[in-house]
Amino acid sequence: MTGRVVVVTGGATGIGGGIARRFGRAGDLVVLNDIDAEAAERTAADIRADGGRCAVVVGDVRSAGTVLLVRDEALRVGGGRIDVLVNNVGDFRPASRTFLHSTEEQWQDLNEINLLHVLRMCHAVLPIMVDQGSGAVINNSTVEAFRGIPGHAVYSAYNAGVSAFTRSLAVEVAGSGVRVNAIAPDLADTGQTPAAAMLRGRDPDLLRTWVPVGRFGRPEDYAAVVEFLAGEGAGFVTGQTIPVDGGTLAASGWYARADRKGWTNLPNEA
C-alpha cells in the first residue's frame, strides 16, 4: 500500500471536504469522519472516482465513542498506521447576541465542538504516531483566536485554546517525530459561511476594501496549506498556527479605500 493514512474529521463538506479531496488526489488513504452520512458518502465517491481511496466513519466527533471508532477504523484500513490527523471540526454556533446573553449550556456546546474533541482525537491518535516515530497533526483554529469578535467571545476563547494547545503539544511530542500545527481560516466561502450571507447585499467589488487579496477563501486554499503542513516540506515547522485569511489579520483594521487612493483605518471612509 502506498500513500499515507490520513484522518479528517468533518471531512464531508466545506474546508474539510476540500482537505479530504486533496489528500485523496495525492494518493493517500483518507479516513473521513462526518455527522452527515449522505454528504460523507458523496465526498468519498468523488475521491474514489478520481482514483483515490476513502473510508467513511459516520458519527458526531463530539462523542468520545465516535473518536474511538474513527481511530479504530483508521488502524484497520491503514494496516496499523495513522500518519496524519486533521482536526477540522469547529463552529461559531450556538451564538448569542452578546456574552451577557449567552448561557452556560452554550459555553459547553462551543467547548465540545471547538476544543474538547481536538483533545480527545489527539489523545486517541498520538500514541500510534509516537510508537511509529512519525506523524503530523493539523488543527483548525480561526483568526478570531487572535482578534476580537463581538458576540462570539466564547467561540474565540476556545479557538485560542486550540492554538495554545497546538503550541504546547508540539513541544511535548517533537522528540517523538510528531509535528503539530494549525491553520487559522477567515472568510471561507462554504456552506457554513456562504459568500452571499457574508456580503449581505454589499457590492462584491468592495471585497478588496476589507480583504487585501480581494476575494473570499475557497476550500482548496485551506486544503493546500494543510497538505503543506502534513508534508516533508514542513518538516522543520511545528507549534505554529498559520493564518489562511487573504491578509485580513495582517491588515488589522486597515481598509483599502473605495476610491483606490490608499488605505484608511476608518471604515466609513473606505
Strands 241-244 and 255-256: unpaired
Question: In sequence order, what are the beta bridge partners of 139?
Answer: 87, 182
Residues in the chain: 270
Question: What nine digits make up the cell of 40?
Answer: 460523507
Cα dihedral across residues 229, 230, 234, 235: positive or negative: positive
Active-site positions read 155
d(C-alpha 42, C-alpha 63), whole Å: 23
Taking a C-beta distance cutoff of 8 angstroms, is the pair 113, 10 a contact? no
Cis bond leading into 94, ω under 30°?
Answer: yes
d(C-alpha 47, C-alpha 58), whole Å: 17
